[in-house]
């Protein structure tokens, strides 16, 4: 065990002196997530609010055929402007979001109580126009219902006959859960960062050491091979732990210091205590990341080859986290048995302020450690083979 | 003291070493001479426990290389073909790493490092990071860390490879000094002149087989030649791959 400590110490010293690599490695991957997520939240939040509050400017063709409708729209915070000469092209090019066209027959159809046609020219694939289109559609439907009911009253029928269903919406989304879709990406960034930060250290101390021809002299020293494997795995820990801590501090800053409330109209449940819990739950992932990577790096011939594999290795365990943003999954004990996925579910629950089952935490931590131990054992087997030295030859 | 009996090793179909036997005594320099690819390095790698022999056995200080590799490693100092050192560590840190792995106490280690630094004339580079060192300087670091635990048996794989004349002469003198200290030194070489100049005992290896062994005089007698280079070529059967 003393030898493990010696190897650990020397590897850490060697890697710390490679300042450029670890500074870029740790800071880039640690701050990438918080900056990216924070930026997305601000962008989406501000565009969403801007569209809701703004008076809607609506280009209308032939407003003179439907003065009552125009009056209705204007009373609902819509400013009508003359439509462009070619509405379809203008919408296609994105010059305007939506154009209302009132055909000449409108007043004729309207007066004879036939359905009077109006045309909306829109591009449903343009996300930025969605809020405006929805507002116009809602207003037109409102006008439709309003006038329809008036006509029934004129004919002596109660307007209630039209209301087959009375819809009463109860929205259970708290302010936090509305931003959850975005926040669900957070575990993805955490796991990805952990895997990424250890990969350069592991590559350097395995495939790199072989390429620099220092592995053979090292292994002639009187220590069991497992001591080298343990020492090398452990030597990546300080760097990944620093990365994980920085990532979480970064998210903490984004969600607590940045004025997200101003942009999104909501606050997030990401306080110091939650961050510490997330940190603890993700610690076993650090072990797993290093153990998987040392196995892969032992197979590869050169650091360059290892460098092409390891980013993919980092992607695989973090992808479920990204999927969580779009396909919400309910946590249960079985899912906790999948290393990295369990952690991502738990982090998600914490962010949602849901109650956490102690058993889920224990299951997730234990299986991750067990799987990491299995990979470590595999690495020791690989290091006991002769090929470990001469793969590059 | 190193004894080798019928050591064999194959890589797939390639028979790298076949039935090589010899013994190397303390206070002697034993040279393995053979062309490139003859199996010298493979033999040495088996002795320093990184390759396991398919058959045969070898003992170093009585410890079997296959049964007790850790004991063997404690009694050997190796300058392997791979001489990579840690470029971000200083000379002392490089040496200290290996000394610590040998379980040396801090006091013992610092004292031995000072000795080696003087012995190898490394005073000016002792506390510099080894990045940018010349081939000769790197070699000194590699030798110092190989000998830090003062082993009784020293295995050198082509120790003068890539050195200039001055460094080669210094290296040879250093090897002689090790012998005079009573160490058992084994070195490999494909340079006939080097083996002639240095070795007390010569083992000729060709195509994985040891074709002859003995003192320089014995080899001359055996072949009836009047100089060692002719004797070597006669025993190997070709001068290809030699220098």
Full-model pTM: 0.80
Phi-psi region of B37 (alpha: psi -120 to 50; beta: other; left: phi over 0): left
Q: Are residues A115 and A39 in the same domain?
A: no
Going across the sheet that includes B28-33, the strands are B63-64, B55-60, B2-11, B14-24, B209-214, B201-206, B28-33, B184-189, B153-157, B76-79
pLDDT at site B205: 93
Answer yes or no: are the C-beta atoms of A186 and A33 closer than 8 Å: yes
Range of the domain at A97: 54-168
Q: Are residues A152 and A218 in the same domain?
A: no
Please indicate whether, in this complex, the C-beta atoms of A220 and B48 are within 8 angstroms of each other: yes
Of A110, A133, A168, which marks where a domain is finished? A168
- Sheet strands (E) in chain A: 56-61, 78-82, 98-101, 119-122
Q: Are residues A191 and A269 in the same domain?
A: yes
A209 interface with B at CB cutoff 8 Å: yes
Q: For every one of its 243 residues, what pLDDT tens digit does chain B have, with 9 covering 90 and above? A: 999 999 999 998 899 999 999 999 999 999 999 988 889 999 999 999 999 999 999 999 999 999 999 999 999 999 998 899 999 999 999 999 999 999 999 999 999 999 999 999 999 999 999 999 999 999 999 999 999 999 999 999 999 988 889 889 999 999 999 999 999 999 999 988 899 889 999 999 999 999 899 999 899 898 888 888 888 888 888 777 777
Of A147, A168, A189, which marks where a domain is finished? A168
Q: Are residues A23 and A114 in the same domain?
A: no
The Cα–Cα gap between B107 and A107 comes to: 105
Q: Are residues A78 and A148 in the same domain?
A: yes
Q: Are residues A238 and A321 in the same domain?
A: yes
What is the rounded average pLDDT of the residues A14-35?
A: 84
Please indicate whether, in this complex, the C-beta atoms of A13 and B81 are within 8 angstroms of each other: no
Strand partners, A56: A78
Instruction: Give pLDDT tens digits for A235-253.
Output: 999 999 999 999 999 888 8
Of A168, A202, A217, which marks where a domain is finished? A168
Q: Among A194, A276, A208, A231, which Cα is nearest to A26's?
A: A194
Other CB atoms within 10 Å distance of the CB of residue A382: 18
Instruction: Give pLDDT tens digits for A113-164.
Output: 888 888 889 888 877 777 788 888 888 888 888 888 888 888 888 877 777 7
Q: Are residues A235 and A148 in the same domain?
A: no
Q: Are residues A326 and A374 in the same domain?
A: yes
Answer yes or no: are the C-beta atoms of A250 and A30 closer than 8 Å: yes
Q: Are residues A236 and A332 in the same domain?
A: yes
Q: Are residues A110 and A215 in the same domain?
A: no
Nearest 5°: CA angle at A214, between A209 and A215?
65
Taking the CA of residue A308 and the nearest CA in chain B, the distance in Å comes to 24
Residues of A in contact with B88 (CB under 8 A): 13-14, 17-18
Q: Are residues A17 and A99 in the same domain?
A: no
In this structure, what CATH number is given to the domain that contains residue A59? Answer: 3.40.1710
What ipTM, to 2 d.p.? 0.94
Domains annotated for chain B, with CATH where assigned, are 1-75+153-243 (3.40.50.300), 82-150 (no CATH)
Other CB atoms within 10 Å distance of the CB of residue A290: 28
Structural domain count, chain A: 2
Q: Are residues A132 and A221 in the same domain?
A: no
Record the tokens describing residue A380, joined without a space: 């020791």
Which residue, among A3, A208, A221, would best test binding to B if mutated, counting the most B CBs under 10 Å from its CB? A221
Q: Is the pLDDT of residue A387 over 70?
A: yes
Which residue, among B82, B158, B161, would best test binding to A if mutated, counting the most A CBs under 10 Å from its CB? B82
Q: Work out the mean pLDDT of chain A and round it to a whole number.
A: 84
Record the tokens describing residue B179, joined without a space: 């012998």
DSSP labels, A44-94: HHHHHHHHHHSPEEEEEE-GGG-HHHHHHHHHTTEEEEEPPSSHHHHHHHT
């Amino acid at each position: 065990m003393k030898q493990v400590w010696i190897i650990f110490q020397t590897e850490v010293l060697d890697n710390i002196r490679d300042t450029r690599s670890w500074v870029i490695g740790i800071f880039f991957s640690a701050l990438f997530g918080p900056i990216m997520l924070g930026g997305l939240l601000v962008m989406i939040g501000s565009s969403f609010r801007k569209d809701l509050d703004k008076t809607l400017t609506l280009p209308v063709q032939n407003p003179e055929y439907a003065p009552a409708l125009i009056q209705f729209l204007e009373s609902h915070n819509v400013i009508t402007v003359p439509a462009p000469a070619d509405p379809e092209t203008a919408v296609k090019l994105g010059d305007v979001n939506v154009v209302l066209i009132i055909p000449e027959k409108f007043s004729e159809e309207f007066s004879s109580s036939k359905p009077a046609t109006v045309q909306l020219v829109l591009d449903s694939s343009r996300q930025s126009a969605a809020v405006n289109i929805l507002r116009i559609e809602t207003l037109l439907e409102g006008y439709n219902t309003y006038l329809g009911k008036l006509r029934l009253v004129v004919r002596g029928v109660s307007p209630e006959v039209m209301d087959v269903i009375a819809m009463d919406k109860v929205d259970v989304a708290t302010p936090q859960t509305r931003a959850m879709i975005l926040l669900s990406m957070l575990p993805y960034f955490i796991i990805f960062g952990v895997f990424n930060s250890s990969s350069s250290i592991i590559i350097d101390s395995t495939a790199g050491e072989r390429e620099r021809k220092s592995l053979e002299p090292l292994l002639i020293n009187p220590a069991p091979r497992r001591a080298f494997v343990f020492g090398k795995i452990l030597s990546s820990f300080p760097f990944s732990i620093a990365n994980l801590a920085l990532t979480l501090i970064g998210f903490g800053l984004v969600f607590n210091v940045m004025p997200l409330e101003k942009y999104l109209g909501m606050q997030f449940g990401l306080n110091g205590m939650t961050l510490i819990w997330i940190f603890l739950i993700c610690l076993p992932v650090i072990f797993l990341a290093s153990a998987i990577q040392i196995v892969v790096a032992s197979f590869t011939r050169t650091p360059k080859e290892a460098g092409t594999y390891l980013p993919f290795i980092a992607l695989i365990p973090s992808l479920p986290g990204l999927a969580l943003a779009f396909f919400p999954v309910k946590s249960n004990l079985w899912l906790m048995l999948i290393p990295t996925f369990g952690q991502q579910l738990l982090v998600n629950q914490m962010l949602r302020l849901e109650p956490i089952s102690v058993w889920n935490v224990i299951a997730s931590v234990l299986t991750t450690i067990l799987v990491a131990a299995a990979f470590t054992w595999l690495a020791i087997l690989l290091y006991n083979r002769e090929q470990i030295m001469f793969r590059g030859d | 003291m190193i004894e080798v009996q019928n050591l064999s090793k194959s890589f797939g179909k390639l028979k790298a070493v076949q039935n090589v036997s010899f013994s190397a005594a303390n206070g002697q320099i034993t040279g393995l001479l053979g062309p490139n690819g003859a199996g010298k390095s493979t033999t040495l790698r088996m002795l320093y426990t990184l390759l396991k022999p398919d058959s045969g056995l070898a003992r170093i200080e009585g410890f079997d290389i296959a049964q007790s590799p850790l004991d063997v490693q404690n009694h050997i100092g190796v300058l392997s073909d791979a001489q990579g050192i840690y470029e971000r560590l200083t000379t002392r840190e490089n040496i200290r790493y290996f000394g610590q792995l040998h379980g040396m106490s801090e006091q013992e280690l610092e004292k031995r490092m000072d000795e080696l630094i003087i012995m190898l004339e490394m005073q000016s580079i002792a506390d510099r990071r080894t990045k940018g060192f010349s081939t000769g300087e790197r070699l000194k670091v590699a030798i110092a860390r190989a000998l830090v635990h003062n082993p009784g048996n020293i295995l050198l794989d082509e120790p003068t490879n890539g050195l200039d004349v001055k460094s080669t002469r210094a290296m040879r003198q250093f090897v002689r000094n090790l012998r005079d200290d009573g160490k058992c030194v084994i070195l490999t070489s494909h340079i006939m002149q080097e083996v002639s100049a240095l070795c007390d005992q010569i083992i000729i290896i060709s195509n994985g087989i040891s074709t002859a062994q003995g003192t320089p005089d014995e080899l001359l007698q055996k072949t009836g030649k009047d100089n060692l280079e002719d004797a070597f070529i006669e025993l190997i059967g070709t001068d290809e791959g030699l220098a």
